[in-house]
Amino acid sequence: MQRLIIRLGPDTSDTIHWLVYSEQEEEIIASGKLNNSDGLASLKERASSAQVIALAPSCDILFKQVALPKNATRKALAAIPFMIEDDVCGDIEKLFFALGPKHENLQEVAVVKREKLMQWQAAFTDGDLFCTQLVPDAYCLPQNDGISLLEIEDQLLVKMQEGQCLQGESEWLLPLILDIAKSQNLPLTCYSDISNLANAEHTSYVFDLLPMQLLMQGALSSKLNLFQGEFAIKRKTNAKWDKWKLAAALAVIAVCANLVFKTAELNSLKRDRAEIRQQIQTSIAQGFPDLGRVSNIKTVLAREVRALEQGGGSLSMLAMLSRLGDAFENSGVKPQTLKYDSRRSEIRIQSVAQSFEALESFRRNAQSLGFEVDQGAINNRGEEVVGVITVRG
């Protein structure tokens, strides 16, 4: 994996240093500097295959340590801006308070202007660079018992005890640091050759890494990221996925809609099937009242029809009903129930007609077909006539 580390300046017009490092090869791939933030777009190709890490100038950041209860709640963390309000300059509404690691009851806090954070984010957006981590440059120096120093061109980075970090021009900052070290008897550790540093007591030099490489390692292990909270960068999505995301969403919606439709259609078919089966059961109960409820309708009906066709007498029930079809149709008589006696080839019909004449018409038509017809009791039922007709073959 490759890392692209970019060190920003206080202003967009300041020089920007950058370095690309390969972890697999454990070596620096490329490094350089840009005249100003407008040149960030030139790093787009290098950033396409690397993790981008940014370093913010520590001169724009105030570092504080706030004492909190051991198990501090969110309400306690939210109160931090008001707890250090007297130590900061300006309106706290215009400041952003980034939380770092907590050491026992001491919470590290980095205070920076919201305007600055938006400026740095805009610089990366304009350069089409995806950067999710922004760490103060001096904060990336190793933590020692004394004071850590690193010089990049004429800028001095300082990391002191208790989380204090400074950054500024070496010309005025170095004398100040030397006075502090002398007055507090603190050792100095220099990670680069620092100009105008001579004859300083308790000074050691560590030149194992180049300045930007050293800062990169510190940033990777840092637990402080200025891009947090409302300034957190959302994870970058795949461009090809963005292109097809709408189509994929529509496809999923279409599939779901089709499943809903098919499920509704299947349920409707199941209801219709149940209704038809119930109608068949009702019709069987009317035509064959002695059968009871059957499970295999087709088999039972076939058996009963064969029995009717093969019944005793000169005519079967089905043959008789077939010949009587015209008589029923011409007279308007409607059979309600049928009872067949196979031994006598006789059908007893409970029938309904519009008038006595209709029943008489049915009798004459049936007799003309060669059947013997007897009429039983006939009664009025509202506007209809109900009677029993016995037909023998």
Q: Could you read off the pLDDT of 349-360 as tens digits, one per residue?
A: 888 888 888 888
pLDDT at residue number 155: 93
Cα(8)–Cα(117) distance, integer angstroms? 12
pLDDT tens column, 5-40: 999 988 888 999 999 999 888 899 999 999 999 999
pLDDT at residue number 317: 72
CATH of 2-234, one of 3.60.40.10, 3.10.20.30, 3.40.50.2300, 3.30.420.380: 3.30.420.380
pLDDT at residue number 147: 94
Q: For the purposes of burial, counting CB atoms within 10 Å of the CB of 234, is it exposed (0-12), middle (13-18) or buried (19 or more)? A: exposed
- 118 or 332: which carries more pLDDT confidence? 118
Domain boundaries, the chain: 2-234, 311-392
Q: Which CATH class is domain 311-392?
A: alpha beta
Please check whether residue 16 is in contact with residue 210, taking contact to mean a CB–CB distance below 8 angstroms.
Answer: no
- 278 or 66: which carries more pLDDT confidence? 66
pLDDT at residue number 305: 60
User: How many CB atoms lie under 10 A from the CB of residue 312?
Assistant: 10
Rounded mean pLDDT, 215-244: 82
**DSSP 8-state assignment for residue 246:** H
Rounded mean pLDDT, 244-273: 81
Q: For the purposes of burial, counting CB atoms within 10 Å of the CB of 289, is it exposed (0-12), middle (13-18) or buried (19 or more)? A: exposed
The verdict on pTM exceeding 0.85 is no
When pLDDT is cut at 50, 70 and 90, the band that residue 315 belongs to is low
Please check whether residue 388 is in contact with residue 348, taking contact to mean a CB–CB distance below 8 angstroms.
Answer: yes
φ and ψ at 291, to 5 degrees? -75, -35
pLDDT at residue number 230: 92
